[in-house]
Structure 1
Amino acid sequence: MACSRTCSQILGLSLGTTALFAAAANTVLLFPNWDVTYLLRGLIGRHAMLGSGLWGGGLMVLTAATLISLTGWRYGCFSKSGPCQSMLTALLSSGLAFLGALICFITSGVALKYGPFCMFDVSPFNQTQAWKHGYPFKDLHNRNYLYDHSLWNSVCLEPSKAVIWHVCFFSALLCISLLQILLVVIHFINSFLGLFCSLCEK
């Protein structure tokens, strides 16, 4: 049981840390090139504006991490809880963290598939000189911008380095949410082992 509680403490702290990183990565996506004017003008992609790293991989996971840590330290209302109550708390916290991390993971994956929201030249499509804001890589069926780095600095005109910014921080969110899902699975297994050991002790 002591081993299970120690593991819960470590997992809670780890999940809390990843939640803060997810929130930070999503916040940075709202300010391309550290410029606030794009946000004020409403020129931010919908996946970044959705804020799944803030409320999904961030707040939901942080709330679950707090519950997991409290269970591990046995503070307050958790100090006198039995093994079944502890298991119920573990299931609720695991479910909350898993849902938040999964939402963040899916959103980040879709965002990487769509590409960045930026200003680009539409003249190759309609033969007239024109610029507009949108997702220039969304309809490139024959070329994948993630692998074709020649497109990174030639398609998006504004903001500069929009592709690098988009790929770096959404990839970070993807990795963070994947790590969160892994930690939740470990916590779930640890909780079952803790319940089993508690019942064996009794």
Structure 2
Amino acid sequence: TVSSLCVMACSRTCSQILGLSLGTTALFAAAANTVLLFPNWDVTYLLRGLIGRHAMLGSGLWGGGLMVLTAATLISLTGWRYGCFSKSGPCQSMLTALLSSGLAFLGALICFITSGVALKDGPFCMFDVSSFNQTQAWKHGYPFKDLQNRNYLYDHSLWNSVCLEPSKAVIWHVCFFSALLCISLLQILLVVIHFINSFLGLFCSLCEK
């Protein structure tokens, strides 16, 4: 019917938009994770191995970045009916949609969880441990991870008083991991929309036949 054809056309257009949107968020996620490897734009911390494990895990690069970008490419190709997708049937299109949605969802979820844990643990930096009743005066670690009765995310007085090096380590950590958290959450939302859109496209294709 005419209504089914219209819905199918809208479904393909939606796939094109979703593919482009997911691809854009993947690039932003990769960029945010890359910046986390260079605190204060200084490469020496990376060369000395003084980067936190959450940033070094690179979930924004391979999870919210590469995995989502690969899925976005598949979604866009399906929407444009390009190459081997030009003559694909509804079942093959749905299978591609499921694979791409699953890949993007997994990558975004990994990035989301890693970013949340990173914000909870706080930045990796050099701090004074004399207040923690230890003999060593200076060390690199996670000073906010085991901080009792105080949450550094809400207590901004700790941001410039605990971490000594890199300077503004807390602000750098919070800003870019918060960005990764928001980007991955947006990616998950786009994946859900894509799955619903693909299901509607399959339903209308079967109705037309």
Q: 1:63 & 1:129 partners in 2: Cα distance?
A: 47
Q: How many residues align?
A: 202
| Paired residues for 1:5-154 under 5 Å | 5-126=12-133, 128=135, 130-154=137-161
Q: 2:134 & 2:123 partners in 1: Cα distance?
A: 23
Q: 1:141 & 1:179 partners in 2: Cα distance?
A: 32
Q: 1:127 & 1:52 partners in 2: Cα distance?
A: 33
TM-score normalized by the length of structure 2: 0.96
Q: 1:155 & 1:125 partners in 2: Cα distance?
A: 12
1:160 alignment partner, SS class? coil
| Percentage of pairs with the same residue | 99
Match of 1:171 among 178, 182, 185: 178
Q: 2:61 & 2:114 partners in 1: Cα distance?
A: 12
Q: 2:53 & 2:132 partners in 1: Cα distance?
A: 23
Q: 1:13 & 1:145 partners in 2: Cα distance?
A: 37
Which 5+ residue runs of structure 2 have no aligned equivalent?
Answer: 1-7
Q: 1:162 & 1:47 partners in 2: Cα distance?
A: 14
Which 5+ residue runs of structure 1 have no aligned equivalent?
Answer: none
Q: 2:143 & 2:68 partners in 1: Cα distance?
A: 33
Q: 1:107 & 1:42 partners in 2: Cα distance?
A: 19
Assess, with a 3 A threshold, how the Cα gap between structure 1 residues 127 and 94 changes in structure 2: closer, same or farther. closer
Residue range with higher mean Cα deviation, 128-137 or 169-178: 128-137
Assess, with a 3 A threshold, how the Cα gap between structure 1 residues 99 and 129 changes in structure 2: closer, same or farther. closer
Superposition RMSD on alpha carbons, in Å?
0.7
Assess, with a 3 A threshold, how the Cα gap between structure 1 residues 127 and 76 changes in structure 2: closer, same or farther. closer
Following superposition, the deviation at residue 125 of structure 1 comes to: 1.2
Assess, with a 3 A threshold, how the Cα gap between structure 1 residues 129 and 81 changes in structure 2: closer, same or farther. closer
Q: 2:169 & 2:108 partners in 1: Cα distance?
A: 25
1:15 alignment partner, SS class? helix
Following superposition, the deviation at residue 126 of structure 1 comes to: 1.7
The one-character-per-residue Cα deviations of 1:85-106 (angstroms, maximum 9, x if unpaired) are 0000000000000000000000
The one-character-per-residue Cα deviations of 1:110-137 (angstroms, maximum 9, x if unpaired) are 0000000000000001265600000000
Q: 1:100 & 1:141 partners in 2: Cα distance?
A: 33
Following superposition, the deviation at residue 141 of structure 1 comes to: 2.6
Q: 1:64 & 1:22 partners in 2: Cα distance?
A: 14
1:188 alignment partner, SS class? helix
The one-character-per-residue Cα deviations of 1:63-85 (angstroms, maximum 9, x if unpaired) are 00000000000001000100000
